[in-house]
Chain A
Amino acid sequence: MLIEFICNGKEISVDVLAEMRALDLIRNELLLTGTKCGCSKGECGSCTILVDGIPECSCLLLAPKLQGKVITTIEGLEGADGELHPIQQAFLEEGAVQCGFCTPGMILSTKALLKKNPAPTVTEIEEGLSGNICRCTGYTKIIKAVQFAALKLKGSEI
């Protein structure tokens, strides 16, 4: 079936099978491989994308469900001039990235969190990122990165 949606600001119209996962559409058809797959079961968060601003596990989402939606993947964050998004910058500067496999999902969950709650407490950050597993960092630097990003973004449009 033909579906149309907006991905990272671009209009997409693509033919998909009814049972195709959004994750496979994004990775294999749109070739946006920044969205990762760590479990295929909704348990790790590495496949997180934003659908109308809400973080979703794209491994659990069927591609046809994207019809008419606005989605953001990690590739959509960087500015046209190659400038990093403040959240990306914060993750980098705070040392919140080790192997980096969880990072795209973490950054997108952070984006959704900060949009809803521009100055989250530590507990709120933990709540907001509880669906994203990271095996490398121990999370402490991720929390710091979110706080730092919140500070940088204060008041500005995310």
Chain B
Amino acid sequence: MRNQELVQVGKSALKVDGRELVTGKAKFSGDFNFPDLLHGYACRSKIAAGYIKDIDISQALKVPGIVDVVLPKDILGGNIVGILPPYDQPVLADKEIRYAGESFCLVVGTSVRAAKAGARVVIATIEPIPPILTIDEALAKDARKIHAAGNITVSKKLIKGDCAKAFAESDVILEDTFETSNQEHAYLETEVVCAVPYGDGRITVHASCQSPFHIRGHIAANLNVPVANVKVVQAYTGGSFGGKDDTATEIGSLAAVAAVRQGKPVMISNEREESIVGSTLRHASRIHYRIAAKKDGTITGKEIKILLDGGAYAAESPFVAMKALIHSAGPYKIDNIKVESTALYTNKTYCGAFRGFGVPQVTFASESMMDELAKKLKMDPLELRRKNALKPGDLNATSQVFQESVGLIETIDKVIDLNRSYTLPSKKQDRYLYGTGFASMYQGISNGAEGIDVVGASVQVMQDGSALVGIGLTELGQGSRTVFAQIAAEVLGISLDKISVKQVDTDTVHDSGPTVASRSTTVGGMAVYKAAGEVKRSLLKMAALMFKTEENNIILKDNFAQLVFDENAKIPLNDVCVAAYWTGFPLMNLSFSKAPEAKYDQDTTQGNIYIAYNYGTHMMSVRIDKLTGEVKVLKHLAVHDAGKVVNPKAFEGQVEGASLTGFGLAHLEKIQYREGVIINPNLADYAVPTIKDRIPSETISIETYNPTGPYGVKGIGEPPVSGAAASFANAVAKATGIRFKKLPITRQVILEAINRKK
């Protein structure tokens, strides 16, 4: 694969599913319509904590159009969601309310309006208990236990070298504490599912979701039926960013239960407010950071304590805590590291996966400290990063060594280079402050410490020379269907317009695990590569017979089988396919790609975790209005080593989108609570970046060859969030001379700080 001349991979391709989207024909879950469709609407708690004493549904059942109210006892299986142990979350709260917005029953009616009217007259008697709302309250010695096992969801350690010694022998020690707030996914399409008993003795659920196989398993468990009785079909999904895992599992199970009870299709479509209060958020965090260094800038030790506020249920906290743990020391070669990462329960909306998965929070802390260290040592911040940057052959934080595809230094050099030719406007104008900030980061690709990583993909070539790809990883807007099509096209020599990629239907594609961890292109792409390769063998064998030559004299290209040494000697691929079919050569294959298993010590988190890392360095230049605190981003460079880039335009799109999400995290977005109740659950009061908040991101890729991905690819979906957020914080610090230690650094926060300083 290395140094191979590529036809499809590396070229910008139009999105294979784009036409449906620009014409409005693409069917999202909410677009399903059935004459007897019922609608479910959940009753949700208005308080953060309490004991459920009674749920009176008698009035609701009298409301015209109401056909059913589903209570916890009606869920015949386990009444569980939570895609990971400890499986502590009920689909419907049964005895205890643990966050404001938690649902305790589902009203089912002939229209949304009826269901809502019914929900309004359900009388819930909930005895309030004092909610636990902060990290400190959760950790307090005599704190009430939110779950039987206590308020600590998980606590992990990473220990490398001898930190005590490193700190004792260092020239400088810096120490500080950083905090970040909850961030809402705010995908434009809320969570929607439609459960349909099609009369085949099974239940089908059309879902806006990220990991259909998770949902399938939970629906079966909650219905108490074999998994084989459940079919989940991913509809077009209007964004997910990690957020449509747990929540889709929750409402998917509920809709299925309701649909089975009625024998009719049931849709649950979260309203925007429900989507904010009743589905996962990005973990808020508090990170205590200590750093030890020599005078020359060599970082000798890092000691980090991470506290993640995970809200009411574990959800994906165990994995997020692990990812934060592994990434908190940053992409540097440091011999002595000690990290403790703890996720906690509080009586707030539960937190889970969100683009970046714990890495943005720790990168903000880590990169703020890097700048402070540079200041202290009077070093150039990029030089300091360069001096400590991981190189091929170095031991990273978990002592894993990559001999190649470690392009961090190249990303730093690129930024140094481009920064040289960029000058900030002169500072004379009194009204404005200018500053440029930098941040380096890395992000592990693949499930890594989160579990075994296997993807199954099928490739089927038809007699007309077209091909169908099936894989269990979902398209969420990131362009994975196009990437899979490009890889299949590359292998088979078939043009992109003749390749189709199935939507994920759990009946027809192999369980491929969750669509997370920027793993689609690498692990998923490898499975497609292999399956296509197997079918290609049949085609080559057939073509060799037809040409009466050896297989290695033939290449497949531009929908033809042709002789290597004579490009005019060629047979249309469809003729080869027909012949192969009638000869009995297999034209379909199911292949698996399995990432090397993570092998590490459970107590110290030392060992091999990920199959590769994406490395990046960002630069952001800002102008701050001293009178209003308004920030304008003048320049943003996002330089990443993401391995080989499959689809450059889609790659840019990922970087631009993820960067704006990082900017939102750092500057605009904040979930606000009053007594544990979210008080800004809408898109007017919760500030999702609009087109006017756009930042001028320039995407630059440093291509290295990653041996663990097809054609050398890695992944890019998540990493820029961290880079953009951390470089923003450093740019504002540079411009104002004030170190901001809490995200988001809003316009108001900046203004107040400037005024205080005066």
Residues of A within 8 A of B (CB): 27-28, 31-41, 43-44, 46, 73-75, 77-78, 84, 88-89, 91-95, 97-104, 107, 125-126, 129-130, 132-143
How many angstroms between the C-alpha atoms of A73 and B24 in the bound complex? 9
Most A CB within 10 A of own CB, among B17, B476, B682, B690: B690
- Is the beta-carbon distance between A38 and B21 smaller than 8 angstroms? no
- Is the beta-carbon distance between B696 and A99 smaller than 8 angstroms? no
Q: Which chain B residues numbered 202 to 251 have a C-beta less than 8 Å away from chain A?
A: 236-239, 241
Contact among A27, A91, A137 with B657 in the assembled complex (CB-CB below 8 Å)? A137
- Is the beta-carbon distance between B653 and A95 smaller than 8 angstroms? yes
Residues of B within 8 A of A37 (CB): 30
Does B26 have its Cβ within 8 Å of any Cβ on chain A? yes
- Return the CB mask of B631-675 against A: 1 if under 8 Å, else 0: 000000000000000000110110011111100000000000000
- Is the beta-carbon distance between A100 and B477 smaller than 8 angstroms? yes
Give the top 7 A-B pairs by smallest Cβ distance, nearest first: A34-B24, A99-B477, A100-B21, A101-B238, A138-B656, A74-B24, A98-B477
Chain A to chain B contacts (Cβ below 8 Å), 28 pairs:
A33-B28, A34-B25, A38-B189, A38-B272, A40-B271, A41-B683, A44-B188, A44-B683, A84-B19, A84-B22, A92-B18, A92-B19, A95-B12, A95-B653, A97-B22, A98-B239, A99-B187, A99-B237, A99-B238, A100-B26, A100-B238, A101-B187, A103-B21, A132-B691, A136-B239, A136-B657, A140-B694, A141-B653
- Is the beta-carbon distance between A98 and B653 smaller than 8 angstroms? yes
- Is the beta-carbon distance between A93 and B688 smaller than 8 angstroms? no
- Is the beta-carbon distance between B23 and A140 smaller than 8 angstroms? no
- Return the CB mask of B16-51 against A: 1 if under 8 Å, else 0: 011111111111101101000000000000000000
Residues of B within 8 A of A91 (CB): 22
How many angstroms between the C-alpha atoms of A94 and B696 in the bound complex? 16
Contact status of A75 and B23, CB under 8 A, knowing A38-B190, A46-B188, A101-B239: yes
In the assembled complex, how far is the CB of residue A64 from the closest CB belonging to chain B, in whole angstroms? 17
Residues of B within 8 A of A75 (CB): 23-25
Kindly list 13 other residue pairs between chains A and B, CB separation below 8 angstroms, not including A36-B238, A75-B24. Answer: A32-B24, A34-B25, A39-B272, A43-B683, A92-B19, A94-B649, A100-B236, A100-B477, A101-B477, A137-B657, A138-B659, A139-B656, A140-B656
Residues of B within 8 A of A129 (CB): 691
Q: Interface residue count for B (Cβ, 8 Å)? A: 56
Contact status of A136 and B477, CB under 8 A, knowing A44-B188, A100-B22, A126-B694: yes
- Is the beta-carbon distance between A41 and B272 smaller than 8 angstroms? yes
How many angstroms between the C-alpha atoms of A26 and B452 in the bound complex? 46
Does B692 have its Cβ within 8 Å of any Cβ on chain A? yes
Does B684 have its Cβ within 8 Å of any Cβ on chain A? yes
- Is the beta-carbon distance between A35 and B24 smaller than 8 angstroms? yes
Contact among A34, A89, A135 with B239 in the assembled complex (CB-CB below 8 Å)? A135
Contact among B21, B28, B31, B688 with A97 in the assembled complex (CB-CB below 8 Å)? B21
Contact among B18, B21, B688 with A133 in the assembled complex (CB-CB below 8 Å)? B688
In the assembled complex, how far is the CB of residue A43 from the closest CB belonging to chain B, in whole angstroms? 4
Does B424 have its Cβ within 8 Å of any Cβ on chain A? no
In the assembled complex, how far is the CB of residue A85 from the closest CB belonging to chain B, in whole angstroms? 9
Most B CB within 10 A of own CB, among A27, A40, A103: A103
How many angstroms between the C-alpha atoms of A44 and B686 in the bound complex? 12
How many angstroms between the C-alpha atoms of A50 and B20 in the bound complex? 20
Residues of B within 8 A of A134 (CB): 188, 691
How many angstroms between the C-alpha atoms of A108 and B22 in the bound complex? 10
- Is the beta-carbon distance between B688 and A135 smaller than 8 angstroms? yes
How many angstroms between the C-alpha atoms of A34 and B31 in the bound complex? 8
- Return the CB mask of B142-185 against A: 1 if under 8 Å, else 0: 00000000000000000000000000000000000000000001
How many angstroms between the C-alpha atoms of A91 and B22 in the bound complex? 7
Residues of A within 8 A of B694 (CB): 126, 138-140, 143
How many angstroms between the C-alpha atoms of A134 and B33 in the bound complex? 26
Q: Which residue in chain B gives the minimum CB-CB distance to A28?
A: B33
- Is the beta-carbon distance between A130 and B272 smaller than 8 angstroms? no
How many angstroms between the C-alpha atoms of A45 and B24 in the bound complex? 15
How many angstroms between the C-alpha atoms of A64 and B705 in the bound complex? 60
Q: Which residue in chain A gives the minimum CB-CB distance to B20?
A: A100
Q: Which residue in chain B gives the minimum CB-CB distance to A93?
A: B14
Does B695 have its Cβ within 8 Å of any Cβ on chain A? yes
Residues of A within 8 A of B236 (CB): 99-100
How many angstroms between the C-alpha atoms of A143 and B684 in the bound complex? 23
